[in-house]
């Protein structure tokens, strides 16, 4: 099975009762500003290149963002920041990501959420994180032939990437590499190409409104990913 089958499979997953309820309740209630729009209200598959050099690992879909549009990081403020930066560093064909049929392409990059369903307060439980991990493992396996750089957004994405790549047979240094903005760790794999893991503050409003993450800082890490992918 390939990425399309994986996407189809994850989009009907109902393994986490609390998240199934939340994603559907939000889709049913709708935010007033989107009252006239359909909501996806289901798990969010990966999006982007099928043979990416760069894999970007986020946290979870936003209730009124990807949970509405059906495409990861699409239709919310975090996505506005992320796609604008991907475009500035040459990794996205458009600077905006508004809805799933807007024509945006990521020729060399794939975006995934660690937990595929929108969680209340953007906080999945450890159990939900672990229940969803096989979907990330399978996606990572399907793109393993081409991925050289992994960008982890936030410490949640960083830890998920370390766990996933360890399960995939990569060496993860002990003690485990610390997350930070611009942190870099090489995850070697015997007999195969390794990947470089890059840490990046999550472009959440909590970080962008407060100035903890600026556009220049985001461009720096994504630009570094693009440069590493071209090497």
Contact 139, 112 (CB under 8 A): yes
Which of residues 22 and 83 has its CB atom nearest to ligand SF4 in the complex? 22
Span from 16-24, 71-79, 181-189, 194-202 in contact with ligand SF4 (CB under 6 A): 16-24
User: Any contact of residue 117 with ligand SF4 (CB under 6 A)?
Assistant: yes
**Token duo for residue 192:** 């195969």
DSSP output for 93-146: S-S---STTS----TTEEEEESS-SPPGGG---HHHHHHHHHHHHHHHHHTTTT
User: Any contact of residue 72 with ligand SF4 (CB under 6 A)?
Assistant: no
> What DSSP element (H or E) covers 192?
strand 192-200
Which of residues 44 and 195 has its CB atom nearest to ligand SF4 in the complex? 44
The one among 41, 43, 48, 157 contacting ligand SF4 by CB under 6 A = 43
Span from 11-19, 51-59, 96-104, 157-165 in contact with ligand SF4 (CB under 6 A): 11-19
Terminal-to-terminal C-alpha distance of the chain: 30
**Token duo for residue 115:** 């937990």
User: Any contact of residue 15 with ligand SF4 (CB under 6 A)?
Assistant: yes
DSSP β-bridge partners for residue 112: 57
Q: At its nearest, how many Å lie between ligand SF4 and the CB of residue 21? A: 10
Which of residues 66 and 221 has its CB atom nearest to ligand SF4 in the complex? 66
Binding footprint of ligand SF4 on the chain (CB under 6 A)? 10, 13-16, 19-20, 43, 115-117, 128, 131-132, 135
């Amino acid at each position: 099975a390939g990425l399309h089958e994986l996407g189809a499979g994850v989009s009907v997953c109902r393994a986490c009762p609390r998240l199934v309820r939340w994603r559907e309740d939000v889709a049913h209630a709708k935010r007033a500003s989107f009252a006239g729009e359909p909501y996806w209200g289901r798990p969010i598959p990966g999006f982007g290149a099928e043979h990416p050099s760069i894999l970007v690992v986020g946290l979870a879909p936003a209730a009124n963002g990807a949970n509405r549009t059906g495409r990861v990081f699409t239709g919310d403020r975090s996505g506005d920041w992320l796609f604008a930066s991907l475009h500035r560093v040459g990794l996205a064909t458009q600077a905006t990501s508004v809805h799933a049929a807007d024509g945006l392409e990521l020729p060399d990059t794939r975006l995934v959420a660690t937990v595929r369903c929108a969680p209340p307060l953007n906080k999945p439980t450890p159990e939900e994180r672990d229940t969803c991990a096989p979907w990330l493992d399978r996606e990572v396996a399907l793109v393993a032939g081409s991925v050289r750089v992994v960008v982890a957004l936030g410490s949640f994405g960083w830890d998920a990437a370390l766990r996933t790549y360890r399960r995939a047979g990569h060496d993860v240094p002990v003690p485990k590499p610390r997350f930070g903005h611009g942190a870099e760790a090489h995850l070697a794999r015997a007999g195969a190409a390794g990947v470089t893991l890059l840490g990046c503050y999550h472009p959440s409003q909590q970080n962008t409104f407060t100035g903890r993450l600026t556009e220049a800082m985001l461009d720096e890490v994504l630009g570094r990913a693009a440069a590493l992918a071209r090497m």
